[in-house]
Structure 1
Amino acid sequence: MSVHRQGATAVARLREYAGRLAGRYGPSTGRRGLLTLAALVVLTAPARAHGGPGISSGNVDTPTWLFLMTGGGVIAVSFLLTSFVTDRELISDYHERRVPVPNGEAVRRWGGRIGGALGLLGLVAVLVVGVAGPPQAGRNFAVLFVWVVWWAGFTASTYLVGNGWPALDPFGRLAALLPDRSGVDVPDWVGRWPAVAGLLLLVWLEVVTEVASDPRQLTAVVAVYAVATVAGGALLGHETWRRQFDPVAGVFDLYGRVAPIQRTDDGLELVIPGAALTEVEAGRTTRESEVGFVIALLWVTTFDGFVATPTWQAIAAPIVRLGLPGELAYFAAMLVGYALFFGVFWGASKRVRTSGPTYRAAPHVAAAFAPALVPIAAGYHFGHYLPYLLQQLPAAAVTAAAPLSPPITPPVLGLPGWITWVGPISVLAGHLLAVWVSHSRAFDLFTGKLQPIRSQYPYVFVMVLYTITGLWLLAQPTIDAPFI
């Protein structure tokens, strides 16, 4: 349900060391030490994850305000460094260079066949073992397969290698068995808002129910999702459902655009990581809803962490005492927080018109820059899920060998201490890539040298704000989600 303890240990060590630098060697040396460590400290913004173990914050000597300001300063410094790159030919070469993968068409064809079979087999295994297997989450292959193999492992592969979900997707393959009647005409204004609602709903269910630890509840959610995909594809059209209504396909599509391997009509091609994020797909749905889905992906990681803090408990306690069910309080927090995140980003997009300045409307600007936030989410996911994946992978393998009669205590891998540094480094990489994608997008959208740089001012402020919010969450002690 939350990020891993190893990340908290690394952060505590970093902050304690930063405090010693400032106190022992004086303010000047302390500042230099903090700047050196900032690139690691900022990475610890929480991305509480579905099905992961808990995290507990320790007491540290460094003042919280200094910790937050140092983290936010890393984003500003990253922007300052990228602003020196103004060669349009160099920037254009970043996202336009393509190298075809040898035999890419054959790889896609055979990958689709093999992946489709594996996807259907995995879906059947989850539905059967989730009901007939042991009730303990740590022994049930369905739980381990969904949260360890699929959500932790496969999701990481989508942004590290390439998006294989179109080949693997068992829900889409079941929907393809029915004729595409497209009997319902979806209004243009709907856009991707149904997918936004679906993503928020799935994360809300993960928080307020036992879907991450109860095999029976997990099976029910998977079955409902399969039925909805089949029915929706038949009524609305397979492509309309996938693009506008399916939150899982939307998440993998965004993550896949970070990866170095991209699908084409002729096969596969190699690109520089993140280059596909600079390609704005205008006209497929409304720009507002495209931005909304990116913000939803970023917000759900923050929400999962916020509701496990004493601050949330203090806010929700009087509301629950008035008689509002805890589940509804969580639902209200989900909607309010999402509206806040969306509003901040949209307000920054409006400010670009004056900081740029530019004649382009806010929806066009927002849709161009929103994908730059995706590497941040990918970095959080990898950093916080890699230890969980490595720890639980042996248990998943053992239970897969005997899913209906697994051992009483499946093996769990012990990890070396250096694994705690993977999280900070991966999130740092995500932040740096996000700043560079935003910089590249600005030079593609605006003319001259000064206008593209000035257009990024509002977004730098927003990224600093998002970072400080995440670091503040990390500084809070973590508790079990209250009132549910």
Structure 2
Amino acid sequence: MIMLSFGALRMISLRAGQLRLGMPGWQVMTNRQTGLQTGGQTGVLKPHLSAAVFLLMLLGVGSFDGFNETFVWLSWINVNPLDFPGRSAIIVPTLSGILFANLILVVIFGVLIWLGMMAASDNPQYRFPLTRLISIYAVSLLPIALAYHVAHYLPSLLVEIQYVALAVDGMFGKDVHILGLQDFHVTNGFFKHLDWVRMIWLTQAGIVVAGHVVSVLIAHHLATGRYRNRFETLVSQLPIALFMIGYTWLGLWLLAAPKGG
């Protein structure tokens, strides 16, 4: 279900025997009314509340996964980051934090899109129940969730991909090196060089910002046609746009914040 959700953002798709290419998220935009069709079956992005909450939780869990390693969180739960007691010692506060983070995210997101709708039009025809609004717009946060997951785990990927390369290199025996890596050794030494660290962080920041840009475009597209004119559409998007700007700041802060544990 997670991969199906993220797969909706792929740039390439094969439909009716035709290869189609577009910006990340174009398939979400073209299927905004009926949900994604995957292999002839309706995918998880069909606008139902349960699927919408699941998409919000992808973002909430990913964000908390980064936040619970920061000195700020560890200070809140009275844990010394320089004398970390182990994950098993903080299971209860961690689970509580995950639940609270997701609850707060759903509430804030719901309130903001409701405020946008109320500010955009006073015509009952253009007002929807809150559950319907969440179902419509939750998918717009999917690029942010994917971008943060990629950015957050990029340092780990840079190390683990070396093990993968060595495994592929020696897959036919220790004396056969199909990639020519017989003298290669896994290293994480690049984390000790400022230039490499700066490049990695800027790459992470670029991924996060790009994800937010795509999310803004998807949210605007989902709102298009639901109101009487472009002005009402833009007004309806102001609260969620501010939310995404704030989340951009949060994502960049999480990447740069000191970590412990």
**TM surpasses 0.5:** yes
Q: Tell me what 2:12 maps to.
A: 261
Deviation at 1:361, TM superposition (A): 2.1
Deviation at 1:403, TM superposition (A): 11
**SS of residue matched to 2:143:** helix
Alignment of 1:120-131 (within 5 A): none
Does 1:396 pair with 2:164?
Answer: yes
Deviation at 1:336, TM superposition (A): 0.8
Pick closer, same or farther for the CA change 1:367–1:268 going to 2, 3 Å: farther
Q: Tell me what 1:430 maps to.
A: 211
Deviation at 1:291, TM superposition (A): 1.7
Give the letter for the 1:303 counterpart: F
Q: Tell me what 1:337 maps to.
A: 101
Q: Tell me what 1:252 maps to.
A: 3
Contact 1:356 1:451 in 2 (8 A): yes
Deviation at 1:384, TM superposition (A): 4.3
CA distance in 2, matches of 1:438, 1:312: 31
Alignment of 1:98-177 (within 5 A): none
Give the letter for the 1:350 counterpart: W
CA distance in 1, matches of 2:22, 2:102: 31
Give the letter for the 1:269 counterpart: L
Q: Tell me what 1:447 maps to.
A: 228
Pick closer, same or farther for the CA change 1:419–1:354 going to 2, 3 Å: same
Contact 1:384 1:423 in 2 (8 A): yes
**SS of residue matched to 2:62:** helix
Q: Tell me what 1:378 maps to.
A: 146
**SS of residue matched to 2:242:** helix
Pick closer, same or farther for the CA change 1:331–1:381 going to 2, 3 Å: closer
Give the aligned length. 223
Pick closer, same or farther for the CA change 1:427–1:311 going to 2, 3 Å: closer
Q: Tell me what 1:79 maps to.
A: none
* Selected match of 2:74 from 280, 295, 313: 313
Deviation at 1:275, TM superposition (A): 1.1
Q: Tell me what 1:296 maps to.
A: 57
Contact 1:356 1:454 in 2 (8 A): yes
CA distance in 2, matches of 1:443, 1:286: 16
Deviation at 1:383, TM superposition (A): 3.6
CA distance in 2, matches of 1:270, 1:385: 29
CA distance in 1, matches of 2:70, 2:5: 29
CA distance in 1, matches of 2:132, 2:103: 19
Q: Tell me what 1:170 maps to.
A: none
Deviation at 1:356, TM superposition (A): 1.8
CA distance in 1, matches of 2:12, 2:256: 37
CA distance in 2, matches of 1:374, 1:292: 11
Pick closer, same or farther for the CA change 1:270–1:465 going to 2, 3 Å: same
**SS of residue matched to 1:317:** coil
Pick closer, same or farther for the CA change 1:270–1:452 going to 2, 3 Å: same
| CA-atom RMSD in angstroms | 3.2
Q: Tell me what 1:3 maps to.
A: none
Pick closer, same or farther for the CA change 1:361–1:269 going to 2, 3 Å: farther
Contact 1:394 1:413 in 2 (8 A): no
Deviation at 1:468, TM superposition (A): 3.5
Deviation at 1:424, TM superposition (A): 2.2
Deviations 1:57-87 (A, max 9, x none): xxxxxxxxxxxxxxxxxxxxxxxxxxxxxxx
CA distance in 2, matches of 1:255, 1:344: 23
Pick closer, same or farther for the CA change 1:412–1:476 going to 2, 3 Å: closer
Which residues of structure 2 form unaligned runs of 5+? 36-41, 80-87, 175-181
CA distance in 2, matches of 1:404, 1:351: 63
Contact 2:63 2:148 in 1 (8 A): no
**SS of residue matched to 1:445:** coil
Deviations 1:413-437 (A, max 9, x none): 8767374232222222212111111
Pick closer, same or farther for the CA change 1:268–1:295 going to 2, 3 Å: farther
CA distance in 1, matches of 2:69, 2:189: 26
Q: Tell me what 1:220 maps to.
A: none
CA distance in 2, matches of 1:429, 1:468: 13
Contact 1:350 1:362 in 2 (8 A): yes
CA distance in 1, matches of 2:151, 2:69: 19
Does 1:457 pair with 2:208?
Answer: no
Alignment of 1:279-290 (within 5 A): 279-280=31-32, 281=34, 287-290=48-51
CA distance in 2, matches of 1:343, 1:403: 54
Deviations 1:329-384 (A, max 9, x none): 21111111110011111112221331122322222222222211112222233344
Q: Tell me what 2:85 maps to.
A: none
CA distance in 1, matches of 2:21, 2:227: 23
Does 1:347 pair with 2:122?
Answer: no
Q: Tell me what 2:179 maps to.
A: none
Pick closer, same or farther for the CA change 1:403–1:396 going to 2, 3 Å: farther
CA distance in 2, matches of 1:372, 1:286: 12
Give the letter for the 1:438 counterpart: A
Contact 2:208 2:248 in 1 (8 A): no
Q: Tell me what 2:39 maps to.
A: none
Which residues of structure 1 form unaligned runs of 5+? 1-249, 319-323
Contact 2:68 2:74 in 1 (8 A): yes
CA distance in 1, matches of 2:96, 2:224: 39
